[in-house]
Amino acid sequence: MQILKTELVKSYRCHFWKYQNGYIECVCNSLNIIVGAFKTKKETLREIKRMINKENK
């Protein structure tokens, strides 16, 4: 599963969550790109935060 580049994660919010194959995907509306596919919504948000924090250091 490809995770979006952090710049895009910063610019685009998750517009909807799609449940697929036992995973919740965060999909960006205008781009329709999957930001992350994780077991839970909380886990997805944590992963996005982690990516952003890593880039800001």
Single-letter amino acid code for the residue at 56: N
Domain range spanning residue 25?
A: 6-56
Task: Answer whether residue 1 is part of any domain.
Answer: no
Count of domains in the chain?
A: 1
Task: Answer whether residue 15 is part of any domain.
Answer: yes
Mean pLDDT of the chain: 57
Q: What percent of the chain is predicted at pLDDT more than 70?
A: 7
| Confidence band, pLDDT 50/70/90 cuts, at residue 6 | very low
Task: Answer whether residue 36 is part of any domain.
Answer: yes
Residue 37 host element (H or E): strand 33-38
What pTM was estimated for this model as a whole?
A: 0.32
Say which residue the tokens 């992350």 belong to: 36
Number of alpha carbons in the 13 Å side-chain half-sphere of residue 27: 11
